[in-house]
Each structure stands twice: as structure tokens, then as C-alpha cells.
Amino acid sequence: MGKKEIDWIAVLVLCTAMMVWASSFIALKSAIGPIGPMTVIFGRMFVASLCFLYFIKSFMKLSFTTKDIKYIALMVVFEPCLYFIFEAKALELTSAGQAGMITSMMPLITAFGAGIFLKEIISKKLVLGSLLAAGGAIWLSLSAESMENAINPMLGNFLEFLAMICGAGYAISIRYLSAKFSAIFLTAIQSFAGFVFFLPFAIWEYNTIEMNFTSEALLWIVYLGVFVTLGGYGLFNYALSRIEASKAAVYINLIPVFAVILAYLMLGEKLTFVGIIASGVILSGVFISQMPTEKLKKLRRKIVSS
């Protein structure tokens, strides 16, 4: 990717979105426990939906083709529905930092999916960078040990991986839809669909699981609904209207690094030597995937000649 091709607005928007999304692991981990996981997700979607009530009148003026409806349906099935089911269950079993690390596998899945369904170009450096980041995530997962806040990290990390597959499907769907619909509308549809989808799960949990609706847990739900759902998805959807899905997905590799640091600072999770090395591997993957091709070739020649 040459310098002239860099959309710095999209870069700034994506980096901000990744920081916000990284904080969602902290918020979810903090809210899940006092409150059931599906109830937390329902609350998140409910709060986000309230934020979009003002825009309903303008949404009614939009027109849809059969293809639009198909992609909208795919978008909401992938995310928030299946994605949050897998992620909520994952965070019951693994740590926030570990779950954040697994997100580094999404860009590779998205790149191949975008190449197949959207005919986007899959460059060698994108594949190399994504594979390097995925390798760091796998290494971290295999070295994980059970602890108080991660009772079954292997299963939890696998469920987070399934969430990443759903996230890739979501990104591909958004890439098509963003050519016609605004980021506000697409984010609102996700929120309304999530509100309806998770309502029965929340009712079931309320009648079967003992929950403690503490003020702290409720504040985390509000944060998830307003800042993470409204803010994070709005920023990401806007960025996808400016650049390819495969390129935008690479920035998701930054989430693990942010998540590990935030989990260490806010939840007191251990910042292990393996975690630090894995973060370095992931950052290397991002660096390689985003480096201009000519610079990457020069760097490779220097390494070979040295």
C-alpha cells in the first residue's frame, strides 16, 4: 500500500474504534458475574437502541432491494446475534486479555472472505501479517493456564475464535451495505435486532439464574451500549465506507494489545512474559501488513544481505 493510498481519516477512526472495542472486554468481564451474560448483552442492545430512537423517522424514508435485505439479515445474524453469544460465553471461561488476543485471527479470516465474496485483492503481505498475528494468538492460547478469572481458557478461547468467524462475516456484509446506507443506520439496525434477539434469553436468565444488579454492573452496561456499541460500531462502519474490508480488518490486531494492557491496569490480570511476547508478535503482524510494498522489499533485502 503506497503512501498515496493511505486514508489517514480512516486510520484515525479505526484506531479509535479499536481502543473502544478493547475496553469492551473489560466492561463485559466486569458486568458478567453479577448479571447473567445474555442479560448483559440485552441491556447493552437496549441502551444502544434508545440512542437511535431519534433517527427512526429518517430511517423510514429509505428504500431496500431484495439483495439489501439479504445482506442486512446476514449482518445482524453474524453480529450482534451469534457473535455476542459466543463472546459472552467465552468471557465466562477465559480472561479478558486472552479473549482480546484471539481477535487477532479475524483479519486473516476476513481477508480470505472478502477475496472470495467481494473480489478484494489478497496481498502476500496481508496474509503474512495476519498469519503472524494469528500465530501469536494461538501461542498465547496454548500456553494459557486456568485461574480464578479464567476457569477454562482453552474452551473460552475457542468460543472467541467462533465469534471472530462471525465478525468476519459481519465485516464483509457491512462492506457491501456501506456503499448505500449510512453508518448510523447500519449501527441502529444492529442495536434493534440485538434488542429483540436477546430479550428471550434475558427473560430466561432472570427466571433461572440468581443475579445481582449492582450499580457498577449497570454502569458497565450503559458504557457498553453508548460508547462501545454506538461509538465503536459507528466508527468502524464509517471506516468501512472509506476502505476495503480486508484492510480495515487488519486494525483489529490492535485490540489484543489494548485489551491486555487494559486488563492489567483495570482488572489486575497477570501480564505474563508470554503475553508481552505475543503482543510484540501481533504488532509485528500489523506492521508488516500495513507497510508499503517497496519498503517491505527493501527491509527484506537488508535482512537477507546482513
Q: What is the pLDDT along the chain (306 residues), one digit of tens a residue?
A: 444 467 788 889 998 898 898 898 888 888 887 898 899 999 999 999 998 898 898 898 899 999 999 999 999 999 889 998 998 888 788 877 677 767 767 777 777 777 777 777 667 777 777 778 777 766 765 665 555 566 787 788 889 889 989 988 898 888 789 888 888 898 899 999 999 999 999 999 999 988 889 999 999 999 999 998 888 888 888 888 888 776 777 787 777 778 778 887 887 777 677 777 877 776 777 667 666 656 555 655 665 565
CA distance 218 to 268: 21
Rounded to whole angstroms, what are the CA distances from 157 to 78, 162, 165, 169, 171? Answer: 18, 9, 13, 19, 21
Task: Say which DSSP state 243 is in.
Answer: S
Buried b (16+ CB within 10 A) or exposed e, 136-175: bbbebbeebeeeebbeebeebbbbbbbbbbbbbbbbbbbb
Q: Give me the residue label for grid cell 501469536.
A: 136
CA distance 266 to 10: 29
CA distance 189 to 251: 24
CA distance 151 to 134: 23
